[in-house]
Amino acid sequence: MPIGQVESATPLSTDSGGGGDKEIPDERFYPKDAPISPEWKKRLQSQVLKWKELFSKDEFDVGLAKSTEHRIRLQEDKPFRERSRRVPLGDLDDLREQLNELQRTKVIQESRSPYASPIVLVRKKNGSVRLCIDYRTLNRRTIPDQYATPRIEDALQCLSGAKWFSVLDLRSGYHQIPMHPEDKEKTAFICPLGFFEFNRMPQGLTGAPATFQRLMEKTVGDMNLIEVLVYLDDIIVFGKTLEEHEQRLEKVLKRLHEEGLKLSLEKCQFCLPSVTYLGHVVSAEGVSTDPRKLEAVASWPRPRNVTELRSFLGFCSYYRRFVGGFAKIAQPLNKLLQKETTEEGCKVSDQNPSAPGPRKARESIQGEWTSQCEGAFVKLKESLTRAPVLAYADPHKPYELHVDASREGLGGVLYQEYGGLLRPVAYVSRSLTPSEKNYPTHKLEFLALKWAVVDKLKDYLYGAEFVIKTDNNPLTYILTTAKLDATGHRWLAALSGFRFSLKYRPGVNNRDADALSRRPYTTEWTQLTPDGVQALCQGTERRVKGGIEAEAIGVMAAAVPEFYCNPTQLRDESLPTFSRQDLKADQARDPLIALTIKALTANQREILLTNSPSGARLVYKEWERLKMLDGVVYRRGPSANAEEIQQLFLPTKHRESVLRSLHDEHGHLGAERTFKLVRDRFYWPCMRAEVESYCHSCLRCIQRKTLPTRTAPMSHLQSQGPMDLVCIDFLCLEPDASGQGNISNSDRSFHSLRPSFFHKEINALRPWPRC
């Protein structure tokens, strides 16, 4: 699955010409950021300068491991050879330059291997080209290396009592490990400019993290988990006192030098009381979660209206089982929702959906926001961002990442299972840039995936196997069959070192990541085209005339592929949203569902056949699929993704609003695609027929539908007698010398043709002379 990256022009041996005669100035080793006395700073500087050769002079000066070689074990020795991919003519010069540099530094060599993987060229933000190798076929055939990474519990226990920390970082760590001579041919790649193989371990190989971890633990030896922690390329030296820390740091530097490795001075930190390690802030006070991981929740702005309040409470409710006294804490906020009533005391969801008038669901709540509401809002955020809600990451447990994208931003939640329940490990979210707001939906979902994995959660996910769940079904094929542009290839290359699988998760079940992606951000003014304004007005008119609020059955436009939608993007403010209590009441008032509830409660299927309303016999046939969850009736629906779909048994009063939302507000899809959207969320008897009837009677669809253009067939004209059918043809040319119009047929023998169709006789007439 991963695609390997080749670091451009990075020599991987100390004698390959990298670095030249340029020396690192001694003053750069001075730990000016360390909160220690000047005497200790000079002392620490002198200790580090003893190992000055250990530090890379520049990006081309990279070490070479002496005791480790990377091996590739295949499930079968049958070679494979993939075809070379085309390279744009404008990129050939850049490719040639990179290949020459990699050959010069002995990173690669010409190959005669029976294996061949294709290359992918992606353009970086600075305009340069990066050479990537598509190792997906090789990785599928590779036997995984099960070498384990250290347990986070052991690491936290070792850090207990430590007060001083130093962080060390290797220069291009993977490229400091040579390939085993027998396995070099397996790394071969083909391109229009030649056929090459790697001398050093490239990025993207499935066993590369295990080889790197094995090397680092072997290098530090008996110091591991006692005096130093190594997790892939993260090395932390710690001590209780400055003397102890100094002694341990010198031992680690010595062992790295003996192994032939080199460090990047720019990324090293020396003698600090607090550092970041694997998503945790390590300090003398203990270990805490990195505040940057919690910024998405901690910086959630105060809701301004009922819609934003529902979004926040819905997100918090997703984790209410981990928050003690959740109902009591959230009571002031729930009271604001209970005030969403009409003057008669009826909830908006109980009104006639088509009745005109203002919608209470969108009213501002700023005037009703009290100190109790503010306290509940702050306490809920604090409860979400502290234990026991936010669990510590365990590298030996599988991760599950939920990602989602919307027009408001990107969001994601990282989980691990504790006690049979999924516990959140980190929240991430951000708003979109102006250019990203123009992305189609499927590209936004891909961006959310890449951003969450590579940019925000790499400390947790790198080197581990994990599952990504998304509510965008086309995204599940992005790593196998999708044809990508240069940006897509660049994102795919960034995901190369991660081992994961993608699974589809219906949007109705993806509320955690969806709420983070749709949380309010700073308002930005944008310009709309006339078509966009017209579409916005039409959507507003529909929302004023009808629709009901629903929290439990809201459907996201992000779940619909962009190429099915209208080009104008609108927010999902017209989607039906209401509480579970409303659902229970509405189902109890529906005759058919009420009878179904009675049958399920008594566990007697035959009740559906006694005094049954319309559709009861169809429900009788679905008995084995029906079930009740928290007093609400659902049907287990079919799924093409090996995940069971819970279809809500929708009351009759809400069917029209659901069809309006899934058809009118989602680009006026065809009947079949609209039915699939409805089927993934709801159930009622004769659902397909109602969906088809609604779509076929949609006025907008009828007006926009292109009518079939039928060409009249060729036929023989019938004539009953002479002069019964006369065909006349005129052809006007330039006037002749006498001033008369020259009217003739194509061979210029006649002025006018007047054939009688019955006997095929042709008469020519001369026009009257001009006056």
Write the pLDDT tens digit of every residue in 564-609. 233 323 334 444 556 677 788 888 888 888 888 888 888 888 888 8
Tell me which residue of 56, 64, 313, 85 sits closest to 174, measured CA to CA. 64
Distance of CA 637 to the CA centre of its chain: 25
Judged against a pLDDT cut of 50, whether residue 196 lies above it is answered with yes
What pLDDT, on the 0 to 100 scale, is given for residue 15? 44
Amino acid code (one letter) for 462: Y
Q: Is 415 helix (H, G, I), strand (E, B) or coil?
A: strand
pLDDT band at residue 517 under the 50/70/90 scheme:
low
Quick one: pLDDT band at residue 342, thresholds 50, 70, 90? Answer: very low
The encoded tokens of residue 78 equal 């049958």
Extents of the domains making up the chain: 294-384, 399-518, 527-705, 719-771
Pick from 579, 581, 616: nearest CA to 597: 616
pLDDT value at 180 more than 90: yes
Cα–Cα distance, 231 to 296 (Å, whole number): 26
The residue assigned the tokens 């820390």 is: 245
**More confident position, 530 or 218:** 218
- Rounded CA separation 504/558 (Å): 13
Q: Whose CA is closest to 732, among 711, 751, 753? A: 751
For residue range 384-430, list pLDDT tens digits in order. 777 555 565 777 788 999 988 887 788 888 888 877 888 888 777 77
Tokens linked to 492: 């795919």
Residue 357's region, left for phi above 0, alpha for psi from -120 to 50, else beta, is left
CA angle 462, 164, 52 (to 5 degrees): 75
Q: What is the DSSP letter of 172?
A: S
Cβ atoms 132, 119 nearer than 8 A = yes
What is d(CA 392, CA 256) in angstroms, rounded to the nearest whole number?
30
Q: Name the residue among 426, 341, 434, 335 with its Cα closest to residue 384.
A: 426
- pLDDT over 70 percentage in the chain: 70
Cβ-count burial of 633 within 10 angstroms (0-12 exposed, 13-18 middle, 19+ buried)?
A: buried
Higher pLDDT, 23 or 170: 170
DSSP strand pairing (189-191 vs 194-198): antiparallel
Is the distance from CB of 130 to CB of 238 less than 8 angstroms?
no
Q: Tokens for 750?
A: 């006649």
Distance separating the N- and C-terminal Cα atoms of the chain = 89
Q: How confident is the model at residue 654 (pLDDT cuts 50, 70, 90)?
A: confident
Classify the phi-psi angles of 242: left when phi > 0, otherwise alpha if psi is within -120 to 50, otherwise beta: alpha
In which region does residue 225 sit, left (phi positive, over 0), alpha (psi from -120 to 50) or beta (all else)? left
Question: Which comes out higher in pLDDT, residue 178 or 460?
Answer: 178
Q: Which residue has the higher pLDDT, 6 or 410?
A: 410
687 vs 362: which has the higher pLDDT? 687
Per CATH, domain 527-705 is 3.40.50.1970 = no
Task: Name the least confident of 144-148, 372-376, 668-672, 747-751.
Answer: 747-751
Q: Which residue has the higher pLDDT, 770 or 382?
A: 382
Which residue did the predictor score with more confidence, 347 or 157?
157
Rg (Cα) of the chain, in Å, rounded? Answer: 36
* The token pair that represents 163 in the structure block: 């007060």
Residue 266: name the closest of 387, 167, 408, 370 by CA. Answer: 167
Nearest to 278 by CA among 154, 459, 157, 416: 459
Write down the pLDDT at residue 343. 33
Q: Cα separation of 49 and 45, whole Å?
A: 6
- Are the beta carbons of 298 and 381 closer than 8 angstroms? yes
Mean pLDDT across the stretch 440-450?
88
DSSP state of 202: P
* pLDDT mean across residues, the chain: 76
Cβ atoms of residues 238 and 229 within 8 Å: yes
Domain 399-518: CATH class, spelled out: alpha beta
> What number of H helices and E strands is found in the chain?
23, 24
**pLDDT at residue 528 above 80?**
no
pLDDT, mean of residues 551-559: 30
Among 42-56, 547-561, 658-672, which stretch is predicted with the lowest mean pLDDT? 547-561
Q: What is the pTM of this model?
A: 0.48
Sign of CA dihedral 353, 359, 361, 362: positive
CATH number for the domain whose boundaries are 294-384: 3.30.70
By CB atoms closer than 10 A (0-12, 13-18, 19+), residue 31 is buried
- 3-state secondary structure string, 69-137? CECCCECCCCCCECCCCCCCHHHHHHHHHHHHHHHHCCCEEECCCCCEEEEEEEECCCCCEEEEECCHH
How confident is the model at residue 578, as a pLDDT? 61
Backbone angles phi, psi at 626, to 5 degrees: -85, 145
How much is the pLDDT for 757?
A: 62
How far apart are alpha carbons 187 and 108 in whole angstroms? 10
The residues, ordered by sequence, that sit 6+ positions from 74 with a Cβ below 8 Å of its Cβ are 141, 142, 143, 186
Lowest mean pLDDT among 384-398, 620-634, 685-699: 384-398
- Model confidence pLDDT, tens digit, residues 103-118: 887 889 999 999 999 9
CA distance 139 to 73: 10
